[in-house]
């Protein structure tokens, strides 16, 4: 999450209650970090693929979409300005589709924030697919706010998932930075298995579980070392258990305010974050989830 001063927090809005909650959450983060907030609404892609003749014939429809988009932006920006009057807020009406539009808007951002309703809602799969696309191709961390009621950043714990990938180190720094900003503790969660990655098989009586668990604790310590040094005031609870990453994280997320995970790594969590684990976390996490790519880490 670390970024040079002046980089905006970008939030995508579509007029839904979930998007408005996400805008307020993003505004709270921007306000605490001193960053501007950029509120973005993407117009339907089809409007920008029409021929000149089609555009002339669809003029009223295009104007209607633009008017509706401007209303969405006005409602979201008005709400965050009322809540955070000192915040520097900008609005942008951009051509769709949503994922590329937000990726472009967030090219120089410190974070992109999305809202999502319950998994049974129409917006859930769309928000999930947009987040996955941004996690693959975006240039900053992506946070999806799926909570069903407004939960602003506070002193509840920040849960960070750790594996043996570089993206975990980046996720750890973001989790510690967020916790430092809001005076919260960190729960560092690392899942492991006695099964070998290749073939996913093992011979139980040949496994030294004590030695394996000790090595997994070493993985945890290595990823936490730099963040502990930079943020010595952040309290940390280490959780290392032989279970699945999604289960370990979700068990700790029940009373947390944020889950932070890495993507595009080679470990069990990072390798799966764009697959079943990511979908499970995106659709079932009771709090916002931040997906972090390795290259966003900085020692500055």
- Residue 15: what pLDDT? 92
Mean pLDDT of the chain: 81
Asked whether the predicted pLDDT for residue 25 surpasses 90, the reply is: yes
Dist. CA 173–CA 194, nearest whole Å: 28
Dist. CA 292–CA 285, nearest whole Å: 16
What is the pLDDT averaged over residues 10-27?
94
- Residue 78: what pLDDT? 97
C-beta separation of 249 from 159 below 8 A: yes
Q: Which of 267, 274, 106, 95 is nearest to 189 (CA)?
A: 267
Q: Band of the pLDDT at 121, cuts 50, 70, 90?
A: very low
Which region among 1-5, 38-42, 86-90, 159-163 has the lowest average model confidence (pLDDT)?
1-5
Asked whether the predicted pLDDT for residue 165 surpasses 80, the reply is: no
Which region among 75-79, 125-129, 147-151, 271-275 has the lowest average model confidence (pLDDT)?
271-275
Asked whether the predicted pLDDT for residue 275 surpasses 60, the reply is: no
Decide: helix, strand or coil at residue 7: coil
Q: Which of 290, 79, 20 is nearest to 177 (CA)?
A: 290
What is the pLDDT averaged over residues 28-43?
95
Dist. CA 159–CA 149, nearest whole Å: 20
- Residue 263: what pLDDT? 74
Q: Band of the pLDDT at 29, cuts 50, 70, 90?
A: very high
Strands 289-293 and 142-145, how do they pair? antiparallel
Each residue of 119-133: b (16+ CB within 10 Å) or e?
eeeebbebbbebbbb
Angle at 58 between CA 57 and CA 60, to 5 degrees: 115
What is the pLDDT averaged over residues 100-114?
91
Please state the length of the chain.
Answer: 300
Q: Band of the pLDDT at 276, cuts 50, 70, 90?
A: low
Q: Band of the pLDDT at 266, cuts 50, 70, 90?
A: very low
Question: What is the pTM for the complete model shown?
Answer: 0.83
Backbone angles phi, psi at 240, to 5 degrees: -125, 115
Please indicate whether residue 286 or residue 128 has the higher confidence score (pLDDT): 286
C-beta separation of 95 from 48 below 8 A: yes
pLDDT in tens, 79-104: 999 999 999 999 999 988 888 899 99
Share of residues in the chain with pLDDT > 70 (%):
73
Angle at 41 between CA 38 and CA 46, to 5 degrees: 145
pLDDT in tens, 166-180: 778 889 999 999 999
Share of residues in the chain with pLDDT > 90 (%):
47
Q: Which of 274, 283, 286, 288 is nearest to 121 (CA)?
A: 283
pLDDT in tens, 218-230: 889 999 999 999 9
Strands 9-12 and 111-115, how do they pair? parallel
């Amino acid at each position: 999450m670390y970024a040079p001063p002046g980089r905006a927090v970008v939030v995508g809005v579509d007029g839904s209650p979930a998007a408005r909650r996400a805008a307020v959450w993003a505004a709270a983060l921007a306000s605490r970090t001193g960053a501007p907030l950029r509120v973005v609404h993407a117009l339907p892609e089809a409007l920008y693929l029409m021929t000149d003749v089609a555009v002339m014939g669809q003029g009223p429809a295009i104007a209607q979409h633009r008017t509706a988009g401007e209303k969405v932006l006005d409602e979201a920006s008005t709400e965050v300005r009322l809540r955070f009057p000192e915040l520097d807020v900008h609005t942008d009406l951009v051509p769709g589709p949503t994922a590329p539009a937000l990726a472009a808007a967030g090219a120089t951002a410190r974070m992109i924030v999305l809202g999502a309703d319950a998994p049974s809602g129409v917006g859930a799969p769309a928000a999930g697919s947009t987040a996955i696309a941004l996690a693959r191709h975006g240039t900053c961390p992506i946070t999806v706010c799926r909570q069903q009621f407004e939960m602003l950043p506070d002193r509840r714990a920040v849960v960070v998932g750790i594996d043996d990938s570089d993206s975990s180190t980046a996720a750890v720094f973001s989790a510690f930075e967020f916790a430092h900003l809001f005076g919260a503790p960190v729960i560092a969660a690392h899942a492991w298995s006695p099964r070998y990655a290749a073939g996913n098989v093992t011979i139980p009586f040949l496994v030294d579980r004590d030695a394996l668990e000790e090595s997994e604790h070493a993985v945890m310590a290595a990823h936490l070392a730099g963040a502990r040094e930079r943020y010595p005031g952040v309290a940390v609870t280490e959780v290392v258990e032989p279970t699945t990453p999604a289960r370990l994280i979700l068990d700790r997320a029940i009373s947390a305010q944020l889950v932070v995970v890495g993507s595009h790594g080679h470990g069990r969590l990072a390798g799966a974050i764009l697959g079943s684990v990511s979908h499970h976390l995106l659709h079932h996490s009771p709090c916002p989830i931040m997906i972090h790519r390795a290259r966003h880490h900085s020692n500055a």
